[in-house]
A and B are shown apart, each in its own frame.
Chain A
Amino acid sequence: MSSSVQSTGGVAGYRPERTLRLSVELRRQFKRRRTVGVFALMVALPLVLIAALQLGASEDAQSNSRLNLVDVATASGLNFTLFVLFATTSFFLVVVYALFFGDTVASEAQWGSLRYALATPVPRMRLLRQKWAAALVLSVAALVTVTVVALVAGGIAFGFADITTPIGISIGQGDGLLRLAGMVGYLAVHLLVVGTLAFWLSTVTDAPLAAVGGAVFTMFVFAILDQVEQLGSIRDFFPTAEEFAWTDLLQTPVDSADLYRGVIQSLVYAAVFTALSFRHFSRRDVTS
């Protein structure tokens, strides 16, 4: 029988603010194959792309008449990194964010471990906060991983040189790295939209697949609607809007108008979805 009990009723040694620390949650996540798998994929993707670019060098580069970063992908490691980001923005990174955020609560519910965590007790708001933070750390880490691997592997394959834009303007390496950091930062914020949407769904459903799939599906629907010109400026308010605004960072001087709008809009979406998830989870009866 524990002799010491706190005035709040908690047992001695229990402090709500020490429950489910970020390091513990990350340890839990990294014990999962899924997490390790995503990071392995993040490392593999740039390597696969390098191999593909080496194989198909220049032959079909012209077949795609779109103004495209692929045309200059092999100019330097930095260029290759930009190409990787360009290629992954609209699908791959979306899925990664949706996975890390959407899997959080729903998978615990599916295993049935959620109720034990809540009875520990990890206060509900804290549980969500920690899960959210862990998902963010994992997602951003994945984004940084793919960028760094692309940068290093691309540099080795194509040389450490300046950025060459499709119109033949070059940006020095130092400046280029700074801008690349800005792009990664922008993407990290913009992808929060899909992440937090998945997170909200994760608190609603007990099926991780539904949360992840639902968020990705929603993004795809908006991406398709985005192609409908008739919708006009309504499209500017889509969660997918300004998805590629980070390419503005290639300009000189940088026009940050779209970036700013993108950041604000993403933060608003993220805040709304996060608020919805907290609201729902705080009221919900946990029956799983």
Chain B
Amino acid sequence: MHHRPRSGARRGLAALTTALTAAVLLAVPVLGSPTARAQAAEDVGTEDATVPSGSGADAVELDTTTYVPASATAEDPAPAVVLAHGFGGSKQSVADDARDLAGRGYVVLTYSARGFGASTGQIGLDDPRYEVADLSTLLDVLAERDDVQLDAPGDPRVGVAGASYGGALALLGAAYDDRVDAIAPQITWNSLTTALFPSQAGPVDEATPAATPDTGDSGVFKRLWSGLFFGAGSVPTGDGLLASLTGGSTAAGDGLPQIDPGSLESADVEQALTCGRFRADVCAAYQQAASTGTLTPEIAAVLDRSSPAGVLDRITAPTLLLQGTQDSLFGLGQADANARGIAANGTPVKVVWYDGGHDASASESDTEDLRGLVAGWFDFHLRGQGEDPGTGFTFPVPTGVGAAVGSVQGGNQSETAADYPGLSGDAVQRTEVPLSGTTFPVVTPPGGNPAAITTVPGLGAVTAALGGTTVEIPGQFAVFGSEPLDTAVDVVGASTVTLTVSSPTGTATLFAKLYDVSADGARTLPSGLVAPLSLTGLSTDPTAPTEVEVTLPGIVHRFEAGHTMQVLVSSTDQAFAAPAEAGVYAVGLADGASLAAPSVSGTVQGESGATRWWVLLAVLVALGVAGVVVAKLWGARRRRQLSEVEPDGEDVPLRFSGVTKSYKDGFTAVRDLSFEVRRGQVLGLLGPNGAGKTTSLRMLMGLIRPTEGTISVFGHPATPGAPVLSRLGSFVEGTGLQPHLSGRDNLELYWAATGRPLADAHLDEAVEIAGLGTALDKRVRSYSQGMRQRVAIAQAMLGLPDLLVLDEPTNGLDPPQIHAMRQVLQDYAATGRTVIVSSHLLAEIEQTCSHVVVMAKGQKVAEGTVEEIIGTGGAVLLVVQGDPARAEQVLTGLGAAVERSDEGLVVELGDLTRAQAVSALVEARVGVDQVTPRRRLEDAFLSLVGES
């Protein structure tokens, strides 16, 4: 996948900046990207060395770095790869690629070409005498290494790869040195002459998709690109201008270098200033070209020497040609020519077009893919490993717009055909699209200004994307359009068309473009590419013009249905040199001329897209089914477990057995709690705040898991979600009512959530217990604490549960309500149901409950009937006026046991009633101030509360 922009701008901006950088350096990081991760499959060591190459005046020292994988040893030598960098770069430019390849087990040699980086010497533009000879020197160095596999003594098993300047070196190296075993040149030229002086007019072999005419002896100078190209080399680099003057021997360290001004030839100084590190002949050729804009035999000689075109028949190394569709410097036609030339020898050639080039760097994913392709090529052809990459043809799937606008449009799928058409198999298929248009007069302005703006070097299609359209100057172009297309036309390669041109001077410089015009008239120039035409020997008679076969730029583009294909021929273009003289040409279509648009059908990689979505769906469905099956099995097992029941379950609605709840922080809320509740009881859980009452109730509701012990409800373990909890109604700590609903809605929705039949709810009875009247239909938000409390208790009683658990139910109720509540609970228990009430108030428990469990600090303190615990039968506390001794005497006489305390007399009445005791005291003239039941528990309870 390419990196998806989170904002539309990002990719555009990234493309722009990288393209700008690339344009300046020309060292397009086709394989290297800043974020590229080195595939450190194994440890890679590096060795830096300076290698002398050449002799005499041309002797140089090449700065090299060798990346050696740990797997490459003298016992088990590995094949080698030489990586050559792009123009303006250095060995550092390919470091990432080198590390990656070394990680795959190759000994990788990188070096700075002469004239670049820390290498000495002058740039000869891949001159076979210098740069190509340097490559041979490096192969010698590799052959010396004991960790490099040899085909023969002095002949290492080696591949060469590189982009642009380095790509041409790979081709030339394979041609001149037969020790090279495989090459992978990228975005490079076939002929530097046709690249810099293109003219796409004339007959062409239409068998291959991007076949582009060879420039004869004339072409249109690609001045902007050339300027950048030479500008990069003429800036003194490395040790700087002084070093280049003194032969690169500046003293590092102490102060200024010692230069004797008298020793410098003025010619040398001039050459250094104007030509930088270029060789004099290269420099002279450029200066001539730049000033005249015409192709002279001297220039052609320099450029042809540096071109693989003439020596392709010598290449026997399997060749992987990678070319970019976003490349206004070395277009698809250059790779096409290379492929034809190399395949003619029977050498295996695989052609890959990708979405990138000198105008736009490839996406991260494409970069990774390309690395993989190169590695796969070497794996098979150097090591005999892996799948045969074959001799197929891969290109981006045509889309409606350039990928530079990929944020919203433009995919990155690629399509693969079995062969590059026209090499050995069938010729490329060409669709004839009829064009129409009259003959136009086309004006060339004097000096070639103003000029149409189509391509900016290094930006290409981005220009079109940013500006929306390219700029065409009215009056300077002729235009021939098709009818709106019925079906989309995919163009893969260079279309051809035959035009008629006449010129008063017999010569003309024109620029042909193929526009995509949408239904609403918006024009897009695919990839921003232009085909310059340098025409000579034209008819001067507009009525009998000369027919010219024109090859339009090689593109990969889909012309959508409803769009028109438009051939536009203009007289100027900003990126090219145009003749200075003004003139008027007549440009028309040849009779019956139509556009021959090449297309290649292949299989779309990742078209398994549709399949994998089905696979994904199938996987999800399978997972779902598996989940359901597992749930069913698990459910059945759980039901079996749940069905195990204690025999006395129905009589003991609740049983705690040795229940302990400790928290991770060491706090123990409940310790070893055991008690039973029998049917029909109203059990009070009495204890001060923090005694563990609420925790116990929560455990019984399955909200908290006991650390130890078991809780059973009607004989079933009270685990979270146990069905037996459906026999439980609860109100614990807070009402849990939804504040935005009315009381009635709360009750109804609560019952609906249980999933039980509405008839089981006994809603009316619950509503009656809540006793809210019409307030029940108001929002709970508006309720008082007491009202909420009553709704919550009513909710707990919905469905008339067999076990009702209420935590502090009378909190917040006023005395009449408390009284009514007690009655409700006692009546409820009288039906054979069981009620558990917790409270911290002794009186509360005393008046409501039949049984009580007293808790303190998480432990059970006492347990029994309320009578047993509260002790209403026996003792009373007597506070008397006057002499307590007299009172004691009287009561002892009646058979009661008397004890004195600070508060008064504690009297165990025995058979005596309180009335009898009081009347006896009154008769004995002892004034009775108070008679209250003496709770034996109270002391213990209060002391516990006090302690806690």
Contacts and interface: CB of A to CB of B under 8 A. Distances in A.
Given A119-B728, A121-B726, A170-B519, A14 B613 contact: no
A256 interface: yes
B738 A256 contact: no
B396 to A, nearest CB: 10
A121 B702 contact: yes
B735 interface: yes
B411 A254 contact: yes
B715 A9 contact: yes
Contacts of B35: 229, 232-233
A242 to B, nearest CB: 6
Contact of A13 (B702, B725, B760): B760
B727 A264 contact: no
Contacts of B800: 2
Contacts of A28: 738, 749, 753
A227 B6 contact: yes
A167 B400 contact: yes
Interface in B458-472: 465
Interface stretch (B154-162, B500-508, B584-592, B639-647): B639-647
A10 B726 contact: yes
Contacts of A243: 4, 6
B730 interface: yes
Contact of A67 (B12, B14, B524, B612): B12
Interface residues of A, number: 86
A11 B400 contact: no
Interface in B411-444: 411-413
Contacts of B735: 112
Contact of A66 (B9, B716, B721): B9
Interface in B469-499: 488
Contact of B802 (A2, A17, A229, A260): A2
Contacts of A245: 4
Given A1-B831, A254-B411, A226 B738 contact: no
Contacts of B801: 11
Given A33-B740, A119-B730, A18 B524 contact: no
Interface in B704-751: 704-705, 713-716, 720-728, 730, 732-741, 745, 749-750
A118 B721 contact: yes
Contacts, number: 255
Contacts of B698: 115, 285-287
Q: Which of B6, B728, B741, B756 has the largest count of A CB atoms less than 10 A from its CB?
A: B6
Contact of B609 (A1, A69, A119, A257): A257
Interface in A211-240: 223, 226-227, 229, 232-233, 236, 240
B392 to A, nearest CB: 20
B408 A250 contact: yes
B249 interface: no
A68 interface: yes
A5 interface: yes
Given A169-B401, A250-B408, A255-B606, A242 B4 contact: yes
Given A111-B737, A233-B35, A252 B558 contact: yes
B6 A226 contact: yes
Given A118-B720, A170-B518, A256-B610, 20 more contacts: A7-B639, A8-B642, A11-B799, A24-B749, A28-B738, A66-B9, A111-B738, A115-B732, A115-B736, A116-B730, A118-B721, A122-B721, A123-B721, A255-B412, A256-B609, A260-B609, A260-B612, A286-B703, A286-B704, A287-B698
Interface of B: 1-9, 12, 14, 35, 37, 364, 397, 399-401, 405, 407-413, 465, 488, 518-520, 522, 524, 558, 560, 562-563, 604, 606, 609-610, 612-613, 616, 620, 639, 642-643, 645, 698, 701-705, 713-716, 720-728, 730, 732-741, 745, 749-750, 752-757, 760, 795, 799-802, 831-833
* Across the A-B interface, the 4 shortest Cβ-Cβ residue pairs: A255-B411, A9-B724, A10-B723, A18-B755
16 contacts: A1-B833, A18-B755, A19-B755, A27-B749, A28-B738, A67-B465, A112-B736, A115-B701, A116-B730, A169-B563, A170-B519, A243-B6, A253-B413, A253-B604, A257-B411, A260-B609
